[in-house]
Structure 1
Amino acid sequence: MAPEHRLFSHSLPQSLWRAEVVKHQEAVLAHQQGISLYSLMEQAGLAAFKLLQCKWPDAMRILVLAGGGNNGGDALVVARLANQAGKQVKVLALGDLERMPSEAQQALAAWKAEGGQLELSKQLDWPCDAIIDGVLGIGLNSEVRAPLQALFAQVNQSGVPVLALDLPSGLSADTGKLLGCAIKASATICFIAAKQGLFTGQAPEYVGKLVFAGLGLSDLFEQQNTTAVSRADYAQLSSMLAPRTKNAHKGSCGRVALVGGNVGMAGAIRMAAEASLRTGAGLVNVFTQAQNQFVVCTGRPELMVAAVASDSLQQLDWCLAQASCKVIGPGLGQDEWAQALFPSVLSDDTACLVDADALNLLARAPEQRKQWVLTPHPGEAARLLNCSVAEIEADRIAAAQSIQRRYGGVCVLKGAGTIVAGEQGQVKICSVGNPGMASGGMGDVLSGIIGGLIAQFAAKHSLFDIACLGVCIHGMAADRAAEQGERGMLASDLMPFIRQLVNPKL
């Protein structure tokens, strides 16, 4: 690909914002800087046009989809610039362009002044090399209406590359929720500030390659506004992975006690335990069903594996008392054995990670603690909040925050764009990872990673930061494993890459 143009960057801001904040502050900051909103629209259109040229330099027939708002105005600027560059341009008017905001009206007038025409068709009936999506923008909060639904489907089925302006039309800028349907972009150029919905929910499937154009206002925007939501960044978080002291020993590197692996589920607790070892925990104890004892330690003799029965918990209680971190849930089940072990693990305030069926047990008898990390997938999150999975996925950020408020500690809501919510109201979104992670055992590995990190670093760092680092390591390890292909990737394939990532100098 051609080098990045100075008007845009593939480097994304850390801070993430709600659409209403950006929309309001855009006008405020433009006024402070003595910039007209139309001039800002011109800059946005120019940045988008330069990106179009960089990504698809041979595209000569450009179809521009222009809605009735400022997003449509941005698209009309792109249309005019493409026309000036000698490209064939067709503009579909997908709203009442005559009633656009004043700055968009100027863009419309400039397009018409150069002989530009508007087509009223809502059909994709013109052969084109690239499509500009300027239909709905960041203000959409209701479902896409029927005429546009058919057009969006045509766009998605066309095989033509799409450049979305600010965000793909039909996607919620705040939640990443699909508002009925959306245009699937090949690339999206985000203006002024990064919108939080671009990084979670359905967004990863629709955004394509995300680039950023600050339009000269991004630094001032961040200086004058505050947000609790940001991207989880391994480069920043890995500072806690300092080299060990020369006199380090296993006792100084933390002890993880993992409880789980019910009948037929030995693999879950084994993968979690090995992930704790690979993350650097000095000692790892596993407590499981008697028939799993040999299976769990086979091939990984470094694990200390003990059988535990529901009517004999003395050994479990003693070992739990020695642990720096406890992990309960992988392969736990919800039978009498699981129900007997669950309160023993939570009998004191040692830092604890709760996952899988342990979360389902918690949902039955909710309680609140500070010193734990809860790692639900959307189904478990729905049970924790007594709602539907659809409600969780409709606003993943709000769901993670609700779980954190109800249960305390830190909530890690797994999925595309994993959400980490902390007790100070802070939220991190982790955008690494890939669809190859859609296989059994990935969540168990994450539990082991975070458990191993807690055991080593809870004395110096917050559970929130540790959880964020663990999520980054997990996703990045999966991305490295996926270099050999996403389909067929196993949770255990992450192990060698976990070891690399917890040693950032390697």
Structure 2
Amino acid sequence: MTDLSLKITAKSIPHSVWSADWLRTAEKQAADDLGLTLYELMQRAGAAAFNLARELYPQSQHWLVACGHGNNGGDGYVVARLAQAVGIQVTLLALESNKPLPEEAACARDAWLDAAGVIHAPEHTWPNDIDLVIDAVLGIGLNNAPRDTAAQLIEKCNQHAAPVIALDIPSGLLAETGVTPGAVINASHTLTFITLKPGLLTGKARDVVGELHFHALGLEAWLQGQTAPITRVDSAQLASWLPPRKATSHKGNNGRLVLIGGDHGTAGAIRMAGEAALRAGAGLVRVLTRAENVAPLLTARPELMVQELSPQSLDDSLEWADVVVIGPGLGQQEWGKKALQKVENSRKPMLWDADALNLLAINPDKRQNRVITPHPGEAARLLNCSVSQIESDRLLSADRLVKRYGGIVVLKGACTVVASQNGECALIDVGNAGMGSGGMGDVLSGIIGALLAQKLTPYDAACAGCVAHGAAADVLARRFGTRGMLASDLLSTLYLFVNPDLNSKEND
């Protein structure tokens, strides 16, 4: 009998992320180890989805369940049977195929038919009173665009006014990469099973997943014995990186940071990076920039130490600083090139961003003491490929960047990827569309630089900096929306996340 007591833990999204390829093998191994059949796991998945649908839409009376010709469709048959059993009207559409259904899905279909369920063809006319759609068309095994019949069914689901709950993954979204090569379900909610998959977080995921829910189907204890290759990172982990400061701490032991940039017309970039570094807790921040920028920067933010960039001031600053950040507003002319040539000889921890990355693409090198923070366009230049190639597999792109350039890579975008040459990989599960405006990268550079100066390891500084950056933007988005958000606005909420011990109500 299906266990209807399986509860949805909608807010308990795990921090471990697994490859869909790994899961297909591990699911059978886990079932064998626990004395379960794969059909029993399918029944658990269907029960979990049924419970979630009832919890989210308790007034819904007529469900349309769209089933594919695989095990994802089998989950849909289970949901349909359970819904019908409690008096909900169910219209079930199923894709046809010349191939037999997998064994577990065939059992679920037969149970639906034995319960007097009816299976309609995909082109069946939808009843007028459908108030909830269950997407069980395509699952995590998809690796290309949905075929015509599936694509037509997906589009029909999207065109209907009823909310959609996707089972395991929205149909048409690739589980490994988050790419959408063709038609894809625009889900209101997605309930994923057993493990998180990368494609639910990165790529186009945020456009189509809706609110993400998770259920381990009773395999939690078994999974604890496995080591995940990817970590989902959010503000819950900040406290482990940023403990409260000792009462006797002072500016000297909070780190000395030098930032280099701000060519003609780009003083704003280096100012935002410098101020973000102060707000993220660096003890002393020095800015080297064009002479014309010195007075305006000192006037705007007197806590910064601002000097004209010259051979002497650069030599002195590289000797003085614990950490170096170069790139915001640097430009690609001789002024910036000469500064970068001197900085690249330093063995101190450093971060390269913006034009420093464009110059690096021209003269590539590999080093372990550097964090690079490319957006997809800069990443494409660094790897001599197209932006679409970068976005087609963001995890692979980050790995290629690490292998080519060393150190730590922060591949920015919707769900930023952080990767190290040691094989560590994190998906940064914060941030929002309001961050698509100028200066956001400059602020991030300052934050990560400040955390490096406070003695976090480069990988931890990159992860913590990205989380604090995105979480600060999320507070603003909740208060004011995403349109019109400015990079400098983040400085008003950043303190909530670089001081995670505050227990602010805004840092949920």
Scaled by the length of structure 2, what TM-score is found? 0.95
Matches of 2:178 and 2:120, distance apart in 1: 30
Matched residue type, 1:261: G
Aligned to 2:275: 274
Matches of 2:372 and 2:81, distance apart in 1: 51
Scaled by the length of structure 1, what TM-score is found? 0.95
- Work out the number of aligned pairs and report it: 496
Question: Does 1:26 pair with 2:27?
Answer: yes
- Secondary structure of the residue aligned to 1:83 is helix
When the two chains are superposed, the root-mean-square deviation of aligned CA atoms in Å is 1.6
Matches of 2:251 and 2:382, distance apart in 1: 36
Residues 447 and 95 of structure 1, relative CA distance in 2, 3 Å threshold:
farther
**1:250 to partner: Cα distance:** 1.5
Matched residue type, 1:448: G
Residues 98 and 58 of structure 1, relative CA distance in 2, 3 Å threshold:
farther
Matched residue type, 2:450: G
Matches of 1:314 and 1:335, distance apart in 2: 19
The equivalences for 1:78-227 within 5 A come to 78-96=79-97, 99-122=100-123, 125-127=126-128, 128-223=130-225, 225-227=226-228
- Secondary structure of the residue aligned to 1:63 is strand
Question: Does 1:52 pair with 2:66?
Answer: no
Matches of 2:222 and 2:392, distance apart in 1: 31
Matches of 2:337 and 2:147, distance apart in 1: 49
- Secondary structure of the residue aligned to 1:286 is strand
- Secondary structure of the residue aligned to 2:501 is coil
Matched residue type, 1:138: I
| Residues 241-276 of structure 1, C-alpha deviations (whole Å, 9 max, x = no match) | 222233322221111111111111111111110000
| % identical aligned pairs | 50
Segment of structure 1 superposing worse, 342-351 or 243-252 = 243-252
Matched residue type, 1:298: T
**1:346 to partner: Cα distance:** 1.7
* 2:473 paired residue among 473, 478, 503: 478
- Secondary structure of the residue aligned to 2:46 is helix
| Residues 410-461 of structure 1, C-alpha deviations (whole Å, 9 max, x = no match) | 000101111000121110101111111111111111100000110112xxx4
Aligned to 1:469: 464
**1:306 to partner: Cα distance:** 1.3
Question: Does 1:241 pair with 2:236?
Answer: no
Residues 87 and 98 of structure 1, relative CA distance in 2, 3 Å threshold:
farther
| Residues 268-322 of structure 1, C-alpha deviations (whole Å, 9 max, x = no match) | 11111000000011111111122222232332111111122xxx41111111211
Segment of structure 1 superposing worse, 422-431 or 151-160 = 151-160
Segment of structure 1 superposing worse, 385-394 or 228-237 = 228-237
Contact 1:98 1:105 in 2 (8 A): no
> Which runs of 5 or more residues in structure 2 are unaligned?
503-508
Contact 1:124 1:155 in 2 (8 A): no
Matched residue type, 2:219: L
Contact 1:122 1:148 in 2 (8 A): no
**1:98 to partner: Cα distance:** 7.1
> Which runs of 5 or more residues in structure 1 are unaligned?
none
The equivalences for 1:286-435 within 5 A come to 286-308=287-309, 312-435=310-433
**1:106 to partner: Cα distance:** 0.7
Matches of 1:452 and 1:144, distance apart in 2: 46
Matches of 2:127 and 2:330, distance apart in 1: 57
Segment of structure 1 superposing worse, 491-500 or 443-452 = 491-500
Matched residue type, 1:394: S
Aligned to 2:263: 262
Contact 1:238 1:469 in 2 (8 A): no
Matches of 2:223 and 2:245, distance apart in 1: 40
**1:5 to partner: Cα distance:** 7.4
- Secondary structure of the residue aligned to 1:159 is coil
- Secondary structure of the residue aligned to 1:353 is strand
**1:71 to partner: Cα distance:** 0.3
